[in-house]
Structure 1
Amino acid sequence: MPRAPLTETEEARTRERLCDAALELYREHGQEAVTFRRLAEALGTSHTRPYRYFEDKDALMAELRLRCFRAFADVIRGSDPGGHDPAARLRSIHAGIMRYVHDHPAEYRLMFSLRQPPLDTYPALLTARRTAFDYLVDVVQQAVDQGRITGDARTIVHVAWGAVHGVLSLHAADQLVHGRTLAQLTTPILYTVLGPLFDDAGAGGAHIRRATG
């Protein structure tokens, strides 16, 4: 008798298992190791099975990045205490991002890999990236609205994120080898870009000034 078609729940679970297996292969062996054949072998299924869920490897990797960016956005939201003090919010979000990158360096490398198709190829992935970034813009906009810093919030976040991302990427690639750690560098970067905000932040600002010296 022919096998009964899978239910939507079963299809979703299979897709999740494929993504879990692909991410594990990526963590252990890098992007070259992620092939549909190896995925099928890991799950004990036919070599053609992954093609039912993903058109090609690019589509699979985009799905993995989407999962990672959604988790990253959850970390940003979950680390935000809210309230009316943008400096306190940014310090807390910063700490959450540091924990994420420390605990998930492979996922961070995957998210920002230079080897990926144009982002507009996968609209859901682009939306997930913008969701995380725009959340930070909203927090900085609060500081601008309060008159604690001046400038365009989106530009400020681009500058801060570009600087922090450089250090995060070096950390994720095990390339911070010149006598400073991730924790020692990212906080001074925030102070450099957002100094006036933290100057007004009491003990928090003092803590960041000590980290630079």
Structure 2
Amino acid sequence: MPTRKTGTTAKTYTISLANRKARGSGHERLREILAAAKALFLEHGFENVSTRKIAERVGISQTALFAYYKTKDDIFGQLIRDAFGELAQALAECDRTATDERDWMRRCVTGYVAFGLSHPDEYRLAFMVIKAYRKPYNAEQLDENEEVGEGTRVGVPVFMQLTKRIEQAIEAGVVRADLGPPLLVAQALWASIHGLVAILIARPRPHFPWEPLDELIRVQTDMLLNGLLTERDERAPTRTARRR
């Protein structure tokens, strides 16, 4: 009975022929297919995985797999939709709990980082497992263009929600208007946060003298927000006192 570990967490996928489900166990079979495919995509990359390999990992025939998903693109697409769906829920929680625009910005940054660290496999699938496409996408034709990756199709709307909130924060005088248009600011913010999440997930050079994780996240968040947000009058005395 083969046992595989995948991702950065101690997840183990154990599949055997004895585990084949009888007709009517479709929901459990779907979960097994997605779990096996996730492991393979993370281990080998999208291009090096076939439906045959996925079927073998699950312990079913390729023909049986086709009853659930016709192509590996369909499987990958479902995994991506699930990942972005969970990310959207995490960001929606920031909307629900934030007391004002400034609080929302901080919760957005820390919430995004927390999601990536608590869902490393899903995050890697959504942002770090690359699928090659033959043509560049047209942002205005996301639903019609078959060349668009599922990550783009479902990820761009989530990103545009962030852009809209930044636009509102600029209009409210919370985010600095001199930085540039909302889309540019949103892209720069996401790139900075993604860099932190990616390096924390990968954890390269384990002997590097990393500072405590919570402190690293706090400093990164403060650096981003100090450059992003406008100053508030009530903060001035604190900064003046520190300079004395």
Distance 1:85 1:164, change over 3 A: same
Note if 1:60 corresponds to 2:75: yes
- Which residue identity is paired with 1:65? I
Question: What is aligned with 1:194?
Answer: 228
CA contact (8 A) 2:98 2:107 kept: no
Q: CA deviation at 1:88?
A: 0.8
Rounded to whole Å, the distance in 2 between the matches of 1:202 and 1:31 is 50
Distance 1:186 1:153, change over 3 A: same
Rounded to whole Å, the distance in 2 between the matches of 1:60 and 1:111 is 13
- Which residue identity is paired with 1:152? P
CA contact (8 A) 2:113 2:193 kept: no
- Give the one of 149, 154, 164 matched to 2:183: 154
Question: What is aligned with 2:210?
Answer: 179
CA contact (8 A) 1:163 1:189 kept: no
Question: What is aligned with 1:137?
Answer: 163
| Residue pairs, 1:1-213, within 5 angstroms | 14-26=29-41, 29-31=43-45, 35-81=50-96, 85-113=100-128, 115-118=130-133, 121-122=147-148, 125-148=151-174, 149-150=176-177, 151-175=180-204, 177=208, 179-180=210-211, 181=213, 182-196=216-230, 199-200=231-232
CA contact (8 A) 1:36 1:47 kept: yes
CA contact (8 A) 1:76 1:132 kept: no
CA contact (8 A) 1:62 1:122 kept: no
Which SS does the other structure have where 1:188 is aligned? helix
- Which residue identity is paired with 1:73? A
- Rg (Cα) greater in structure: 2
Question: What is aligned with 1:3?
Answer: none
Rounded to whole Å, the distance in 2 between the matches of 1:21 and 1:70 is 20
Which SS does the other structure have where 1:130 is aligned? helix
- Which residue identity is paired with 1:31? G
Q: Which has the higher helix share?
A: 1
Identity across matched positions, percent:
22
Distance 1:56 1:74, change over 3 A: same
Which SS does the other structure have where 1:48 is aligned? helix
CA contact (8 A) 1:109 1:173 kept: no
Deviations 1:118-142 (A, max 9, x none): 3652465423202221121122112
Rounded to whole Å, the distance in 1 between the matches of 2:33 and 2:166 is 38
RMSD: 3.4
Rounded to whole Å, the distance in 1 between the matches of 2:199 and 2:92 is 24
Compare 11-20 and 154-163 and name the one that shifted more.
11-20
Compare 136-145 and 112-121 and name the one that shifted more.
112-121
Q: How many residues align?
A: 195
Could you list the runs of 5+ residues in structure 1 that have no partner in the other structure?
Answer: 1-5
